[in-house]
Structure 1
Amino acid sequence: MNYRFHNLLGAPYRGGNAVMVDDNLVSPVGNRVSVTDLKRSETVTLPCQTSANIRRLAASPDGVFLLAIDDNNRCLFINLRRRVVLHRISFKHPVATAKFSPDGKFIAVAAGKLLQIWRSPGFRKEFFPFELIRTFADCNDKITALEWSPDSNYILVGSKDLAVRLFSMKKRKDNRKTFKFLGHRDTIVGCFFGIDHRTKKVTNVYTVSRDGALLRWGYSGDYNNIIGDQLHNSEPESPGTPDQGVEPNGEGDITQTMLKKRKDFDGKDEILGEGNEVLLDNLKWELLKKDYFMQAPAKLTACDYHQGRDMLLVAFSNGVFGLYQLPNFVCSQMLSISREKITTAIFNDRGDWLVFGCAKLSQLSVWAFESDTYILKQQGHYFDVNCIAYSPDSQFLATGADDHKVKVWNVSMGFCFYTSSVHTDAVTALHFMANNHCLLSASLDGTVRALDFFRYRNFRTFTTPTSKQFVSLAADQSGEVICAGTLDSFEIYVWSMKTGRLLDVLSGHEGPVHGLMFSPTTGVLSSSSWDKTVRLWDVFEGKGAVETFAHTHDVLTVVYRPDGKQLACSTLDGSIHFWDPFEGLLMHTIEGRRDIAGGRLMTDRRSAANSTIGKYFTTLCYSADGSYILAGGNSKYICMYDIADQVLLRRFQITHNLSLDGVLDFLNSKNMTEAGPIDLIDDDNSDAEEGVERQTQGKLAYDLPGSMPNRGRPVIRTKCLRIAPTGRTWAAATTEGVLIYSMDDSFIFDPTDLDIDVTPEAVNAALDENQPKRALILSLRLNEDVLIKKCVLSVNPAEISSVASSVPFIYIQRLFETLSDLSENCPHVEFILRWCQELCKVHGPSIHQNNRNLLPALKSLQKAITRLHQDLADMCSSNENTLRYFCLVSSKR
């Protein structure tokens, strides 16, 4: 019951800009924020959501706060380290870009044509956390780029009116016009301050436009010479202070000695500001140089400037990026990393890594240009994920989608480490074999392929005499027989895994076979079809269909309970039917139409309450112990039902993203025009940032009878549900990607046998008195995770056997769960393994008799031990190679 959102897989990047915070890469994924730790090679997704797809991210200089602005102009102010939302604000205009000032005190927001300066809120709880300090309204078109000066006193702003303006944070007494940098012929993409590394002062301004032009601006020599002459003629403030002039080229910095006094030129141009500083908006700037990147007809889409290295990074719509050394405009590197538009390109803080994002390919990569290596390269699926499958040890998750690809993800790390492109059409079904490294995949291209993702190869292909379209897949427990159901011929094909030979063709269905599964305990195969039947087949005896379960509506999917004693199937009327496969009797029926009913589509002519579209379950999944079932479909909800009582336990809303269709229950009539909904009117322009292509269905447009196409926004729905064999996590293949939900025990207090004497104080007192047996039993009765771990770790290794024998069998499951958690986070490997060994010795017969209830906990323990074994094996192999190298070097000497 206590599941909560944990991570998002299958879509590393969907558009917007990425930011670097220390060695963490922060990137938007739809309406969520993903944080990738590049040192530990782990990625997590923040639990908070915005109301629509995130358009812009901005991080504070100290890396504590994060600003996330979505397409609805709503902003979240997030504590990045605590992963909580501190404040919220809504802007009145579309926000193109936003940045924190270098001192972290202010936030510059480009809201349409306006440049707004807000005071940055902190940890304090305030009624008005955001305070608007100033508003600049000098731009004639939408702002597209902005940059702060290092001292946070000036802001460069570029807009679509082809001009870059220099604004000062200090209010002036005179009504001086804002200085403009003119000369570009296309939209401004970036504008940056050039810094003199010796004096740390602004010396240049760089402006970059979409047509690939780079303009370099500098101080006018006349102003510097006039200031220098007047300072030379004035008396020094103290004896012995030498006068210093300006560098001969007129582009140097005005030193502090020259700025001792405040000077006026003709009583009008105020050159020096308070505190002996140069007022940049009073200086006369001139164009020093104009360069071109020569990538036409490609457009420049993203750029970034690193002040420390004085390097400019530019990216283009043809997938090419360039790295240039300024101010000499020397190309250091020019590479092509994609065939599609690069939507974001930034430096890290040190300037040795380059971060690129391609929204159309859902690709995110980090490139170390000094060593010419990838630090990170992750690419998601182009279209919706159709099917997912957990490995037997729950370490890996496989995904298949309409882009013809199969990907295998490490669930703990959140990274994809294997991608297969052997299919030529949409992947529709996946199945992990018992050996944990063999994966079966079925596709509409008429093939079933066996993939070995340890050796990265397709070692067997199963085909039919004539081309078919496979939409379901199953394998028996021994892994000797492979079965696949078809979409077009309504048949089930049976192959031998060892030889790849076609053994049999099962006929009898009169509709597409969308559900296929072997019984976990017997060799009986169950299949569901749109012909309103569920059939049981004896594949090994070759008797054909042994029993048929008839329904009044189309059957969409079928699953077995883990013990094989129950069969569940969903029908088009929104019901879930539970059958006894041995007696052939209907056990239970759950009516789920009201529970699964989702929001209203933009094309719907009826309200959500009166519409029949989407009120059925297309995917089912039993829990690890078989006590409850998860159900999902063409809706924003995933339902969890208790099977014994036939009641709804919990309903998960998979997203609150209003950029998707079907999230709202009621539509706003203001968005309806004579030509139809506003969102369906194609008014996109070429300047808009490209994200995921507008699509609601991939090649599987046949999904269900009565489903209506939507040519606007993607429709929210769940295509596949799977629970990990450990029972601790479950995954849902949705429109936004693969959502991972994990069990959270940190906020749940569920005592096993509570008494007035069972308290944390009693546990600590028993530990102080050196009574580990009593302390452990008291902590297990209290069911407090921290206390249980403390008691387990406090046991003397020599006393593990006696303490394990004193634990009642009722607490064994809880103890196994604690040991599996310790195995993943505790360095005492041998100590934990000895605990597991003694528990299995003492309670072996009881564990064998109650294997169904203990199966999730034992699977979790197996997963943790397997991961430990792999890590130790890699470490030993590395150490062995290192020692061999040292021995070889010493022998040569």
Structure 2
Amino acid sequence: MNYRFQNLLGAPYRGGNAVVTKNTRLISPVGNRIADTDLLKSQSATLPFQCSSDVSRLAVSPDGAFLLVIDENRRALFVNLPRRAVLHRITFKHPVGALEFSPDGRLIAVGAGKLVQIWRSPGFRKEFFPFELVRTFADCNDKVTSLKWSPDSSYLLVGSKDLTARLFCVRKLKGVYTKPFLFLGHRDSVVGCFFGAEKGTDRVNRAYTIARDSYLFSWGYSGDVENTGGGEGPPAPGTPERSNERALEVNVKKRKELDDEEDGGMEDGECLLHRGKWELLRKDGFMQQQARVTSCDYHRGLDLLVVGFSNGVFGLYQMPDFVCIHLLSISKEKITTAVFNELGNWLTFGCAKLGQLLVWEWKSESYILKQQGHYFDVSCLAYSPDSQLLATGADDNKVKVWTVSSGFCFVTFSEHTNAITALHFMANNHCLLSASLDGTVRAWDLFRYRNFRTFTTPSSRQFVSLTADQSSEVICAGTLDSFEIFVWSMKTGRLLDILSGHEGPVHGLMFSPTSAVLASSSWDKTVRLWDVFESKGAVETFPHTHDVLTVVYRPDGKQLACSTLDGQIHFWDPIDGLLMYTIEGRRDISGGRLATDRRAAANSSSGKYFTTLCYSADGSYILAGGSSKFICLYDVAEQVLLRRFQITHNLSLDGVLDFLNSKKMTDAGPLDLIDDDDTDTEEGVDKQTRGKLGYDLPGSMPNRGRPIIRTKCLRIAPTGRSFAAATTEGVLVYSTDETFIFDPTDLDIDVTPEAIDAALSEGLIKRALILSLRLNEDSLIKKCVFAASPADIPALASSIPSRYLQRLIDAFAGLLENCPHLEFILRWCQEICKAHGQSIQQNSRTLLPALKSLQKAITRMHQDLADTCASNEYMLRYLCSAGTRQKGSP
């Protein structure tokens, strides 16, 4: 019951800028969420909070403690990164195009529309309104596109769409108005501007501005103050002179006095950029025909510049001589983010249209990270039997396999030529089956990463459902067009049988976990049971009043659940053929109104049904999802709704709001669906969206581009500790909450932590262990387990009551994942199985999730030890051979 959001798979990047903090920690936006990737440990996690819409800009403080996130609705979250908690919220009045913390971390520069705002950075203090606006610069004539602080946090270099870059002095100087210095000559909007410094120092002596038309301007700074007037700033080439400025009439003596006042506030060695002279040193072209600069970054310490273009090419240049070090192509789509890490040895690139995220070490020319999500929505899922792997299939014809613990995809299969509709892991954990609309069912070897068998039909068919029996000898697939079920032999690949009888597409197919009975559901309003091995034809038919959308077996095989088009879930006894329960779910699944709907969400009949079902590991609960923002969790025995999971709060998706704002309705339709910003398309660069995620497929999106929130597939892990949902946002993984939940199994007035400590101090290990199991507190159970000596383990294991076995096995599974005492825990597990083997067999249904968790932990530990032993074996062989050669040499 205590499931909570853990991670987001299937789409590592979807637009916005990525940032690198602490040199090896990559922060990237994924829709309205934030992904946190540890590049050293190769682990990816998603932060637990959500923005109101898709994230547009990110900024991290220099010490890596704070993160500022701004979405498309101009709403900002100020986040404590170590604690992953939102501290403050603020809404800006204009769209934010640029954002950066000052090097000292005290200020935040925000490019909001045409304004440049300087805000004081909030801290850990509790304040009514922690954001304090320090200064506002309103000199830009168009939207601000880039910002860069000087190393001393005193100056700000700002690029804009008005074809200029400006140098602002952030400090307020007494009695003098400092107008910004203008860097002119650009023929397109400025997408990047950076300060260059002398080697080994932070003294600024250069500046670089990059225009969108693929030109780089290099500016040089000198301390010549002969032509400056007060604190007004030196004239730039082409800058109109302001004859009415009073500062021009100030005498030389007063200028010196003001200069002395300013110098008194400056630190030693600090350059006064607003008084010196700037001149254009050189203008260089990137020589990318018909390509625009879409992203760029500069590393001041190494004097390196990286530039990403709209044709998927990126270039790495050594400055100030503009020497090209690398010029490579990542893809054919535009690079939406390019950034250095702190040391400058790694480059991070993101392509939003492909969902691609790369980290590249430019010196060795090798990949540190290479992840790419599905091009379209994920349509099907499958957990491996040990719960360590998760396979995803999508409409982009690809099958990806992810490691659940790390959140990374380690293999992609792309042999299918049409959309993937169903996936199934075989019982041996090393073979994956996939069905597709291209008329084939393929078997994939997860050891050699190849397609070792392909199952086809005499005439081309479109497969939409797939399953295999427990012995992995027979494979069955249901069709969309011929309404048949095809049966193949796994060993030979031959077509064994064709089961006919359905009069509609067979969208649900599953073998019984305990027998060879096959259950199928179809749009012909029936569920049919087939005995594949013994006889031909349907053994039994369960009629319904509406189309049946899916069917699933309970893990013990004694119950069958199916959902129908009228929003009901029917539970059948497959042995006696009787209807056991019915759950009315129309009210529970309803929610969210589409922008194109004529009716309110409460009166609409569309989408109020479940398209995917999944039993919990013990069969007590069932998860249900469909074309809605909710996933429902029901208690089967009581037929009541226990919990609803809202999969997203992202207002960039359609179907999230229950009530639409009538002010956004115009004569041309909803205001959100009218795209009046077509400047990027006019200039030859397609406007970047979230990527083509299935809503541009024929008939899949009636509202011209906004993705509809829905759940296409639900799967629960065999351990029961997590479940995955294939949604419009990606693959959402929910796991049990690891925080402390007080849930005692047999509480009494004498069952207290103090009593457990007292028993341990007196050497009564058996009493302490049983008290800790009754109190059901994880830390105390582990403390009592480690207090036992190896010689006492058999006696202690046999004295444990059967009702506490599940809690003890769960504790062993958690210890195996994090505890170094492997042999000690395995000894406990062995003695528990010896002493309670019969009890475990009798209560297999309730103990199955705990046993699966224990199996997963042992398998994972075995794989790690096997890899370590293999590497040690080769190392020892090498050392022995090297020692033999050394002795034999003269």
- Structure 1 pair 226–83 and aligned structure 2 pair: CA distance change class (3 A): closer
AA in 1 matched with 2:116: L
Q: Distance in 1 between matches of 2:702 and 2:228?
A: 71
Partner of 1:691: 689
Residue 180 of structure 1 corresponds to which residue in structure 2? 182
Secondary structure in 2 aligned to 1:383?
coil
Are positions 1:79 and 2:80 aligned together? yes
- Does residue 844 of structure 2 align to residue 851 of structure 1? yes
CA offsets 1:413-454 (integer angstroms, 9 cap, x no match): 111111100100000000000010100000000000000121
Aligned match of 1:32 = 33
**2: CA distance, partners of 1:874 / 1:612:** 55
Q: Matches of residues 185-334 of structure 1 in structure 2 within 5 Å?
A: 185-220=187-222, 222-223=224-225, 273-274=263-264, 275=266, 277-334=270-327
Q: What do the CA deviations read for 1:78-135 (whole angstroms, capped 9, x no partner)?
A: 1111111111111111011211100000111111001111110011111011111111
CA distance in 2, matches of 1:265, 1:328: 41
Question: Judging changes above 3 Å, is the alpha-carbon distance between structure 1 residues 751 and 349 closer, same or farther for their aligned structure 2 residues?
Answer: same
User: What letter corresponds to residue 5 of structure 2 in structure 1?
Assistant: F
2:240 — aligned with what?
none
Contact conserved, 1:402 with 1:698, CA < 8 A, in 2? no
**Separation in 2 of the partners of 1:698 and 1:214?**
37
Amino acid corresponding to residue 461 of structure 2 in structure 1: K
- After TM superposition, the structure 1 = structure 2 runs for residues 73-112 of structure 1, keeping only pairs within 5 Å, are 73-112=74-113
C-alpha deviation, 1:691, in angstroms: 3.1
CA shift in 2, pair 1:746/1:268, >3 Å: closer
Alpha-carbon distance, 1:267 to partner: 6.7
Match in the other structure for 1:591: 584
Report Cα offsets for 1:743-772 as digits up to 9, x if no partner. 114231110111111111111122222222
**Equivalent residue for 2:772, pick from 779, 797, 813:** 779
> Could you tell me which amino acid in structure 1 is paired with residue 141 of structure 2?
N
Mapped to 2, the partners of 1:307 and 1:488 lie a distance apart of 61
Alignment of 1:381-420 (within 5 A): 381-420=374-413
TM-score, normalised to structure 2, is: 0.94
1:867 counterpart SS class: helix
- Aligned equivalents of 1:299, 1:795: Cα separation in 2: 69
Residue 196 of structure 1 aligns with an amino acid whose one-letter code is E
1:364 aligns with 2:366: no
Residues 137-157 of structure 1: CA distance to partner in whole angstroms, max 9, x if unpaired?
Answer: 000000000000010000000
Contact preservation (8 Å) 1:695, 1:711: no
Shift of 1:654: 0.4
Change (3 A) 1:289 1:736: same
Cα deviation, residue 268, structure 1: 11
Per-residue deviation at 1:791?
1.4
Structure 1 residues 689, 34: closer, same or farther in 2, change over 3 A?
farther
Q: Which residue of 2 aligns with 1:840?
A: 833
Q: Alpha carbons of 1:461 and 1:226: their partners in 2 closer, same or farther (altered >3 Å)?
A: closer
Q: Aligned residue for 1:737?
A: 730
C-alpha separation in 2, matches of 1:226 and 1:632: 69
8 A Cα contact 2:18 2:337, kept in partner:
yes
Match of residue 238 from structure 2: none
Contact preservation (8 Å) 1:319, 1:336? yes
* Alignment map for 1:552-631 (pairs within 5 Å): 552-631=545-624
Q: Matched residues in 1 for 2:319 and 2:124: separation?
A: 39
**Local SS of the residue matching 2:177:** coil
Map 1:729-878 → 2, pairs under 5 A: 729-878=722-871
Give distance in 2, aligned partners of 1:374 and 1:641: 45
Size of the aligned set, in residue pairs, is 854
Instruction: Verify the 8 A CA contact 1:731 1:738 in the aligned structure 2.
Output: yes
Contact 1:820 1:861 in 2 (8 A): yes
1:847/1:411 CA distance change after superposition, 3 Å: same
What is the CA–CA distance in structure 2 between the aligned matches of 1:179 and 1:746, rounded to whole Å?
55
Residue-by-residue CA offset, 1:785-841 (whole Å, 9 max, x unaligned): 111111112222222112212211111110000000111111111111111001001
Q: Deviations over 1:190-228 (max 9, x none)?
A: 10000112442000011011111111111257548999x
- 1:853 is paired with a residue whose SS is helix
Deviation digits for residues 682-736 of structure 1 (CA, Å, limit 9, x no counterpart): 324354861323655365847xxxxx72323100000000010000100100000
**SS class of match (1:603):** coil
Report if the CA contact (8 A) 1:343-1:689 is conserved.
no
User: How far apart are 1:381 and its partner, in Å?
Assistant: 0.5
**C-alpha displacement at 1:315, in angstroms?**
0.8
Q: 1:264 to 1:287 in 2, by over 3 A?
A: farther
Could you tell me which residue of structure 2 aligns to residue 124 of structure 1? 125
Among residues 704, 712, 718, which one is paired with 2:705 in the alignment? 712
Q: Would the aligned equivalents of 1:598 and 1:636 in 2 still touch at CA under 8 Å?
A: yes
Matched residue of 1:393: which SS? coil
| Contact 2:109-2:118 within 8 A present in 1 as well | yes
| 1:697 alignment partner AA | Y
SS of equivalent residue, structure 1 residue 586 = strand
Q: TM-score normalized by structure 1?
A: 0.94
**2:263 partner letter:** G
The within-5 A match list for 1:653-672 is 653-672=646-665
Deviations along 1:159-211, one digit per CA (max 9) or x if unpaired, are: 00010001111113223421100111111111000011244200001101111
Partner of residue 246, structure 2: none
Q: Which deviates the most, 686-695 or 511-520? A: 686-695
1:407-556 to 2 correspondences below 5 Å: 407-556=400-549
Indicate the percent of aligned positions where both proteins have the same amino acid: 72
Q: Secondary structure at the match of 2:402?
A: strand
Q: Are 1:17 and 2:14 counterparts? A: no
Mark the CA change 1:802 to 1:178 in structure 2 (over 3 Å): closer, same or farther: same
In 2, Cα distance between equivalents of 1:212 and 1:268: 45
Q: Does structure 1 conserve the Cα–Cα contact (< 8 Å) formed by 2:353 and 2:692?
A: no
The Cα offsets for residues 613-660 of structure 1, whole Å up to 9 and x where unpaired, read as: 110000000000000100000000000000101000000000000000
Change in Cα spacing, 1:888 to 1:195, as seen in structure 2 (3 Å) is: same
Gaps of 5+ in 2: 230-250, 681-685
Q: Alpha carbons of 1:199 and 1:25: their partners in 2 closer, same or farther (altered >3 Å)?
A: closer
Is the Cα contact below 8 Å between 1:509 and 1:529 reproduced in 2? yes
Instruction: Output the CA distance in 1 between the equivalents of 2:185 and 2:457.
Output: 65
Q: How far, CA to CA, are the matches of 1:213 and 1:423 in structure 2?
A: 43
Aligned to 1:642: 635
Secondary structure of 1:831 counterpart: helix
Map 1:329-344; keep pairs closer than 5 Å: 329-344=322-337
**Which residue number in structure 1 is paired with residue 155 of structure 2?**
154
Give the aligned residue type for 2:541.
Answer: T
Moved more, 333-342 or 645-654: 333-342
Q: Which residue in the other structure is 1:374 paired with? A: 367
Q: Structure 1 unaligned runs (5+)?
A: 228-261, 703-707
Residue 147 of structure 2 aligns to a residue whose secondary structure is strand
- Counterpart AA for 1:20: V
Distance 1:287 1:269, change over 3 A: farther
Q: Secondary structure at the match of 1:278?
A: coil
The superposition leaves residues 477-534 of structure 1 with CA deviations (integer Å, 9 ceiling, x where unpaired) of 1111111111111111111111111111111111111001111111111111111111
Query: Which SS does the other structure have where 2:561 is aligned?
Result: strand
The residue aligned with 2:241 is none
